Amino acid sequence: MTAWSPGLSFQAVLDSAPMPYIRERLGKHMCALLDLIDGGSTGDERLRAVAAVAVDAEKLVSNQTDREELLRLLPADKQTELAQRLGADGAGTDALVYLNGLKWASEQQRELLEFFGFSVDRAPALPPLFRQDSEPEYGLFPHQRRAAARVKELLYDGPRRVVLHLPTGVGKTRTGMNLIADHLRQHEPTLVVWLARGQELLEQAAVEFERAWSKLGDRPLAVVRMWGEAPTDVEALTDGLVILGLEKAVSADKSDPELLRKLASRSTLTVFDEAHQIIAPTYQRVVDALTVRPDASLLGLTATPGRTWADVTQDERLSDFFARQKVMLQIDGYSNPVTALIEQGYLAKPIMKTVASEAGLHLSARDQQLLAKSFDIPSEIIASLASDEQWNLKVVQTVLELLERQHRRILVFAASVDHCRLIAAVLSALGLDADFVTGESSPRHRNDAIRRFKGAGRRPMILCNFGVLTTGFDAPAASAAIIARPTKSLVLYSQMVGRVIRGPKAGGTATCEIVTVVDPELPGFGDVAEAFTNWEDVWETA
């Protein structure tokens, strides 16, 4: 077996690359932003340091033109080494010609990334049907117990449909797991189906149930992870929890309805996490297919029991789907439970701020019409804002100001994948501990970044993200959030804010800062308590 040398790090390639190549990869907007931060013209060393974070090596490797240009930057001996790794015969072979002539299948692209020093996640083995023996105490706060008791009154009578509405950070998942455990103990044998979207939420549910059942359970149960490429064999499954990804469920509804039919015949409770999504027609069909038995119940979990903040017809549809039955926290002496939870220390007291960039977008008449008609801010407007140097400068300045106020863990919600990388790269170039996670991040990178952010390290850390930490993410030490993702969606805004409002009684902080960086021409929000009660007029609250 050949003992290979370590290849050549991607950083080393960029360190020796011509500056025009570096500037082209960073783009004019990034270079202009760095010039603004440095108060003049940014030096080559700074540009190379930013490129090491901001340039997406996987995109370069996957694109033929970019890959060939990257390969030309390698020294001749490294071109030869790489060619030999990829099967070249050796003497007499023109290494660069050989490399450019390869088909560059996914395995060869992985080899190239590893040559550059990246840890590449190999295709994981398909997750098996997971079975976990459990044994019994998994407590709830008093307000959670009262809410759970009211849910049970509605879940097994009448329409048998109810939404549990708890503010983000108040333990809707834990309360839901208590309800599931009660159901499984009382209806042996039976299946419960948990529906959610996205790997983070699904895996969180699996781990949380295993933890709950170890405290509350009365028998061994099957816990089945069924999303992504996982198998769908449920032939022998009659008792336990099936955690089913919505994408997989929708696919089964179209191509393998027998799976949903089998689950429906054996399940008596379906739980839909982030229940405001349920009125999408494809999801409704899945839920309807799973709840055909006369004794089947449906529980929705959400911190935002509405689809919008302005379209009441959408919210009416959601309410009607659950027979207008919703349970929310009721705390004596308070008209709004969020206020009570803040005063009692279950939620952090939020300090809400809005800062505006100096340069606005100057929307055209067409953009203004598009903005008025869209459910959320159109992607082309977001893209324009994400490349605005003045706006990004304000985001970076806001991070620095929060660090000066002694925040140790700061979440930044970016406007796009590229914007996420840009902000993290600039902060890293300033000598800060900054990382990023997006839906395109490898599981290894994502897990490592989140682990460090949740850790007890004394050095402050900033975690930039796009699209993956709005739900299913718990980092009690995070005491500040920067909303650099403009949105018209009160649901999305509430989810972003909710990542940092866990109070001291729930392992979080007494106060938190939430800074929304806005363009003056775009809409926004600003009050957590008002957001919680936005949809009350379309529900009957139990």
**DSSP states along 431-445:** T-EEEEEETTS-HHH
The helix/strand/coil state of 529 is: helix
**Contact yes or no for 444/58 (Cβ under 8 A):** no
Question: Where on the phi/psi map is residue 175: left (φ > 0), alpha (ψ -120 to 50), or beta?
Answer: alpha
pLDDT at residue 122 in the model: 59
Q: Which fold has domain 130-330?
A: Rossmann fold (3.40.50)
One fold for 130-330 and 345-529: yes
pLDDT at 212: 92
Structure tokens at 480: 């500040």
Q: Which residues pair with 480 in a beta bridge?
A: 410, 513
Instruction: State the pairing for strand pair 221-226/130-132.
Output: antiparallel
Q: How far apart are CA 515 and CA 511, in angstroms?
A: 13
For the chain, the domains span 10-115, 130-330, 345-529
Separation between Cα atoms, residue 160 and residue 156, nearest integer Å: 5
Please name every residue paired with 195 in a beta bridge, in sequence order, or none if there are none. 244, 272
What order do you get walking across the sheet with 480-483 strand by strand?
349-356, 511-518, 480-483, 409-413, 461-466, 433-438
Cβ distance 205 to 243 under 8 Å? yes
Residue 466 confidence (pLDDT) = 84
Instruction: List CB contacts of 139: < 8 A, sequence separation 6 or more.
Output: none
Helices (H), 291-343: 312-321, 337-343
Q: How many CB atoms lie within 10 A of CB 229?
A: 10
pTM above 0.85, yes or no: no
- Give residue 191's pLDDT: 97
User: Taking the chain (542 residues) in consecutive chunks of 10 residues, what is each chunk's mean pLDDT?
Assistant: 64 90 88 84 86 87 91 89 82 80 88 83 59 60 89 94 82 90 96 87 85 92 92 91 94 89 96 87 94 95 60 70 87 79 84 71 51 49 68 87 92 87 88 87 83 84 80 69 75 72 81 77 48 42 46
130: which strand partners?
223
For position 260, what pLDDT does the model report? Answer: 94
* pLDDT at res. 2: 47
Query: Can you give the length of the chain in residues?
Result: 542
Q: What pLDDT does residue 372 have?
A: 46
Classified by CATH at the fold level, domain 345-529 comes out as: Rossmann fold (3.40.50)
pLDDT of residue 169: 67
